[in-house]
Structure 1
Amino acid sequence: MAQKDLPILVINGPNLNLLGTRQPEIYGHDTLEDAERLSRDAAAAAGVEIDFRQSNHEGEIVDWIQWARTNACAILINPAGFTSTSIAILDSLLIFDGPIFEVHVSALFRRDEFRHPSYVSKAATAKIEGFGIAGYGFAITRIAQLVKGAK
């Protein structure tokens, strides 16, 4: 398992840079900056560090996951549009030796049928969806407990 003194890598997939303005009826009005602030606050309260990133490019996300193998204790990933399409992201997650939490702002099970399956879930330790950006805080709090050995 990854070293507990390393940061949690928080990866945000495509179009999450538009959070708050893109389809607010689905995703709400919170921005990615709000999600980052909440994540940093949760990490500080839990006594861990985070490395917060966003990309619209699948290959870059794969590179980050590979980087995390030696540079992060856990991964929190909101794969966004890559959730039900990226076997490459799944394959890279499968070689990560630490907790992986999949987070979605919206409740995928209430959305279009094509959004329901998740390749990422096949590698995830846990999945949190439908809580808005609060899901980031829930995930970071639980990841911190896991990497610190708490039950």
Structure 2
Amino acid sequence: MLLIINGPNLNRLGLREPGVYGLQTIEDLERQCETWGAELGEPVTCRQSNFEGQILEWVHEAQEQGFGGIVINPGALTHYSYALRDAIASQPLPVVEVHISNVDAREEFRHTSVTAAVCRGKISGLGFVGYRLAMEYLTELEG
């Protein structure tokens, strides 16, 4: 069972900077992840929050709730949340960081991820497909 966590402002997909993020919504992304999960034989739970503390709680509780891995798009928290970095590092589940846009081709401040170093990997710039690749990887680890 996989946990998909989307951070701040991802609830605005389809409205926020469509030239960067596209026209699909968070609901489209969640449906797509659920479909991919079914194809992989892996139940998926999708969550989104604009609140750092809520995201920390989800990471902390994931193993106890029976999840085998986490796909996380931390949004802007990627670049400055040492609390999220520590939460990821403090729990045993494999985590893959995903970004819809190519963060390394954007503003300079987006080039630094404080969370990537404690994740198994990072996928950036492949749109929604990055989530599928992360899910495939985590499913292989569980297998």
**Structure 2 gap ranges (5+):** none
Match of 2:31 in 1: 37
Equivalence for 2:96: 101
Q: Deviations over 1:53-95 (max 9, x none)?
A: 0000000000110011322111100000101010000000001
In structure 2, the residue corresponding to 1:77 is in which secondary structure? Answer: strand
Contact map agreement 1:90 1:119 (CA 8 A) in 2: yes
Q: What TM-score results when the alignment is normalised by the length of structure 1?
A: 0.91
The superposition leaves residues 115-143 of structure 1 with CA deviations (integer Å, 9 ceiling, x where unpaired) of 11101101110111101111111111221
1:65 corresponds to which of 27, 51, 59:
59
* 8 Å contact kept, 1:38–1:136: no
In structure 2, the residue matched to 1:127 is 122
Q: Does 1:113 align with 2:108?
A: yes
Q: Does residue 78 of structure 2 align to residue 56 of structure 1?
A: no
Total equivalences in the alignment: 142
Name the amino acid aligned to 1:116.
H
CA contact (8 A) 1:38 1:134 kept: no
Unaligned runs of 5+ in 1: 1-6
8 Å CA contact 1:30–1:133 kept in 2: the answer is no
Displacement of 1:144: 0.8
1:8 correspondence with 2:2: yes
- Of 105, 109, 133 in structure 2, the residue corresponding to residue 138 of structure 1 is 133
- Match for 1:19: what amino acid? L
Contact 1:17 1:54 in 2 (8 A): yes
Runs of 4+ in 1 over 4 A off after TM superposition: none
1:77 and 2:72 are equivalent in the alignment: yes
State the one-letter code of the partner of 2:64.
T
